Amino acid sequence: MFEVFKKELRELLRDRKTLIFVVALPVAVFPLLFAIMAFISSQAALEAEQEVHTYAIINGNYAQEFTDKVFYHKSFALYKGDETFNTVEELTKAVKAGTIDMGIYLPSDAKQTLDDAKQSEWQVVYNDAKAINFLFDRVKELAKEYGDKLRTTKLLSFGVSEQQQAAIIEPIKVVKVDTADKRENLGEKIGGFIPYLLIPLVLMGATYPAIDLGAGEKERGTLETLLLTPITRTQLVLGKFVTLLASSIATTTITVLSMGVWISVAIAFVDLAVVKNAFSSLTVLDLGLIFVLLLPIAAIFSSLALAISIYARTFKEAQNYMAPLSMGVIFPIMVALMPNVELTSKTAFIPVTNVALAIKEIIKGTVDYTLVGLIFLATVIVAGALLAFCVKWFNKEDVLFR
């Protein structure tokens, strides 16, 4: 078995493509993905903040103070074309035609309407299907400021002080006292995406070498030679399995170390207090625990990938079979991302999902070590069963020589 392992390992180290997936990709994936996400988010926010939208307002003189606020707002520019607008229908047509981005219709004097004990209804016309949905919110905010001022002035005229107004308008003020620290809050938001990156990389570390170790041997005609050597088929398949496991563990190690290094770099150089406060408490023990949980997962993936590769007739056929395996792994990870799916004594026995939930809890700093033990035990049992199946699979002539 050890001789088979050495042979396969030497061939694996000569394959540059495999080394790229096993070594280079895990090192680069975290900075690359986070950098791309940060860049896209910052660019989108910057463009949304700097973009100026054309508007037209009807009966703006009914609320001059509000009209002036919209006019001087950095996100809006008054339409200065030749067209005139007098109704909501005309504003709607102009927005659909792209003449203006937004129209505001004030049907009456809000101040006079308030004196008459009525509510003034203003209409904002815009295309809600476009990526400028914040237009309504900004106009609503400006209108609220104007409306609050009218209300305050009116109530003051009735002899109601501003302090009394606050008590009347909001008799009960609910204050949130959050028991979760910043690490737990941030971990809940992004902790679910860490296993979404880690676990597929562990799978990748097993699948790419597995294709060559099984289907590749068949296609090159070297499998028959291996079967003629004075070792049992069980030793042969175990040697290949250990090679895949070593490859997957190498990917796991590099991935976890890469995550730790890039988080440390982010904490040291990125000026984000929230991120620093959240991840500064992520210890080496936490990273080690994540690594330990990924080990039996690596064994599961190695067994599955090897069984598929042994069954496939050709290299290309094995590649086609690996695609459904990747999709099958993504689904349980997505289950862990769903709301209200938590790590419990029940979910601790769901393969892949349990590890994803445990990693999330580790990132949050709220992990239950008893459940971690259950997850490790359950995953090891599944890995052992799949390895036994792989050995039995390899001993079937109709599988090896399809």
pLDDT digits over 38-88, tens only? Answer: 667 667 666 766 778 899 999 999 999 999 999 999 889 999 998 999 999
Spatial CA neighbour of 216 closest among 299, 133, 306 = 306
Residue 313 clears pLDDT 60, i.e. is over it: yes
Please give the torsion angle defined by the CA atoms of residues 332, 337, 341 and 347, in that order, rounded to the nearest 10 degrees.
Answer: 30
Strand partners, 55: 78, 102
What is the arithmetic mean of pLDDT over 379-395? 89
The answer, yes or no, to whether residue 137 has pLDDT greater than 70, is yes
Q: What angle do CA 42, 101, 54 make, to 5 degrees?
A: 85
Q: Please, where in the chain does CATH 3.40.190 lie?
A: 52-169
Determine the average pLDDT of the residues in 328-334: 87
**pLDDT at 103 > cutoff 90:** yes
Query: What is the mean predicted confidence (pLDDT) over 86-110?
Result: 92
CA 127 to mean position of chain CA atoms = 29
> 110 versus 96: which is more confidently predicted?
96
DSSP 8-state assignment for residue 309:
H
Does this model's pTM top 0.85? My answer is no
Higher pLDDT, 163 or 36: 163
pLDDT of residue 109: 85
What does the pLDDT read at residue 385? 92
| Residue 330 scores a pLDDT above 70 | yes
- Asked if residue 202 has pLDDT above 80, the reply is yes
pLDDT tens-digit readout, 247-262: 888 877 777 777 667 6
Average pLDDT estimate for 80-99 = 92
| Count of other CB atoms within 10 angstroms of residue 81 | 10
Summary mean pLDDT of the chain: 81
Q: Give 105's pLDDT tier (boundaries 50, 70, 90).
A: very high
In angstroms, how far is CA 132 from the centroid of its own chain? 24
Would you place residue 281 in the very low, low, confident or very high pLDDT band (cuts 50, 70, 90)?
A: low
332: pLDDT strictly greater than 70: yes
- CA–CA distance from 278 to each of 203, 274, 285, 291, 339 (Å)? 28, 6, 16, 20, 21
pLDDT at residue 375 greater than cutoff 90:
yes
Nearest to 363 by CA among 181, 180, 188: 188
Q: What is the DSSP letter of 101?
A: S
Q: What is the pLDDT averaged over residues 202-211?
A: 83
Distances (CA, A) of 75 to 56, 69, 89, 104, 249: 13, 11, 24, 15, 52
What confidence category does residue 36 fall into, taking pLDDT thresholds of 50, 70 and 90?
Answer: confident
Query: What is the mean pLDDT of the segment spanning 278-305?
Result: 83
Cα separation, 239 vs 209, in Å, equals 13
pLDDT for 276 equals 55
Six token digits for residue 278: 């959240």
Containing H/E element for 297?
helix 284-311
Stronger pLDDT, 295 or 214, i.e. the higher one: 295
Per-residue confidence (pLDDT) for residue 360, from 0 to 100: 87
Q: Given this model, what pLDDT does residue 16 score?
A: 67
Q: How far apart are CA 314 and CA 15, in angstroms?
A: 18
Q: Please give the pLDDT value at position 314.
A: 84
Task: Give yes or no for a contact between 135 and 53, defined as CB atoms under 8 angstroms apart.
Answer: yes
Name the strands in the sheet holding 53-58, side by side, starting at the edge strand that comes first in the sequence.
Answer: 76-78, 53-58, 102-105, 123-126
Q: Are strands 123-126 and 76-78 parallel, antiparallel or unpaired?
A: unpaired
Distances (CA, A) of 142 to 70, 137, 191, 298, 346: 7, 9, 37, 56, 50
**For residues 128 and 125, what is the distance between their CA atoms, to the nearest angstrom?**
9
Write down the CATH number for the domain with range 52-169. Answer: 3.40.190
Where does residue 163 rank: exposed (0-12), middle (13-18), buried (19+ CB within 10 A)? exposed
Helix (H, G, I), strand (E, B) or coil at 56: strand
Residue 381, pLDDT > 90, answer yes
Q: How many CB atoms lie within 10 A of CB 303?
A: 27
DSSP state at residue 75: T
291 class by beta-carbon count within 10 Å (0-12 exposed, 13-18 middle, 19+ buried): middle
Give CA torsion, residues 285, 290, 291, 295, to 10 deg.
140
* SS3 of residue 77 by DSSP: strand
Token couple for 317 = 């056929």
pLDDT reading at 26 higher than 80: no
Distances (CA, A) of 15 to 9, 208, 234, 341: 10, 10, 25, 41
**Beta-strand relationship, 102-105 and 123-126:** antiparallel
34-38, 133-137, 290-294, 364-368: range with highest mean pLDDT: 290-294
pLDDT score at 228: 72
